[in-house]
Amino acid sequence: MILVTGAAGFIGFHLTVALLSRGETVVGVDNLNSYYDPALKSVRLLEISKHPNACNFQFERLDISDRDGMEGLFERYKFKVVVNLAAQAGVRYSLQDPHAYTDSNITGFLNILEGCRSSEVKHLVYASSSSVYGMNIKQPFSSEDRADHPISLYAATKRSNELMAYTYSHLFNIPMTGLRFFTVYGPFGRPDMAYYKFTEAILSGLPIQVYNMGNQERDFTYIDDIVEGLVLTLHAIPSREPSQYSNAPAAHRILNIGNNSPVSLSRFISAIESSTGCTAVKNYLPMQDGDVPSTFADIQDLTRLTGFSPSTSIEAGIEKFVRWYVNSR
């Protein structure tokens, strides 16, 4: 039995569908918060309910920051694997509501760790983020690079998760893998993300907000590639061993999961224009606080361990997203 937190979220939804298709039994947890329109989360849950193996899915509406609720969850079910994708997302929003990030990403993650400790979970896979690299100069970003200069509270909470996970893995011998996600996009995606907002604006004839005067690159990674990497990672359970920096052994590893191919903002916008058949009206603005000019994932470790090989170009992925977006209106 697999626990997927954030099951009504973007990545959690797609992972749940993939696991059900593989015959797994899944318990999905989500608090259905209003960070963006909860109606989209309800649509995702409806899609799961239509799956041929939907009888193997159980949904629990629960906030992972609810200590008593999470304790009860781990008592009711005997999870072999836990995938923690629940979090308060969004770099810019962390400047507006910082407490939401400590509640979900720190307290909530501690509840996940305690649940794994109490129930002898065989593998915890949890979502970290490329944002932990901050404005690191060296690229591509390697999981061996220093990640101690975050430039947003969101990034700081994700780096904190990695340290908390290492500690629990060392103390209680729980195998854990942290995945640093790089700009995930695709159908059923988050409305606060640039590809969604740009598509919506371009189709409506409205201007798009292009930050840093357009001088940005992102390692955009299509959702199907992300889910493939997640599923492969579930079976790549780390063993207990010292790190190259410490004699404190832990069955813990951190891996980048991205496309290993950064895309310029201009190419990204061109892909949306091509798929929509419309020309964007661009409003150029300075860099936003907490944002970074470029991300680029070194995925050698994930590829070596699992054979992960992302294959979706930005043009192909955006075309699939736009088709879904238009059909869902």
Residues catalogued as catalytic: 154
CA dihedral sign of residues 231, 233, 234, 235:
positive
The helix/strand/coil state of 256 is: strand
Of the candidates 285, 179, 197, the one whose C-alpha atom is nearest the C-alpha of residue 238 is 179
CB–CB of 44/13 below 8 Å? yes
Instruction: Tally Cβ neighbours within 10 Å of residue 20.
Output: 20
Cβ 254 vs Cβ 180: under 8 Å: yes
Identity at 201, one-letter amino acid code: A
Measured CA distances, 180 to 49, 194, 235, 297, 319 (Å): 29, 19, 17, 9, 25
Residues ≥6 apart with Cβ < 8 Å to 92: 288, 289, 290, 291
Give the separation between CA 328 and CA 157, rounded to whole angstroms.
34
How many Cα atoms occupy the beta-carbon half-sphere of 59 within 13 Å? 21
CB atoms within 10 A of CB 200: 14
List C-alpha distances in Å: 255 to 99, 107, 113, 157, 180. 27, 23, 19, 17, 6
Q: Which two tokens stand for residue 49?
A: 């309910």
Contact (CB, 8 A) for 218 and 267: no
Is the CB of residue 48 less than 8 Å from the CB of residue 57? yes
Rounded to whole angstroms, the Cα distance separating 103 from 93 reads 14
Query: If you search the block for the tokens 């979706």, which residue do you land on?
Result: 312
Q: Which residue has the tokens 């189709």?
A: 203
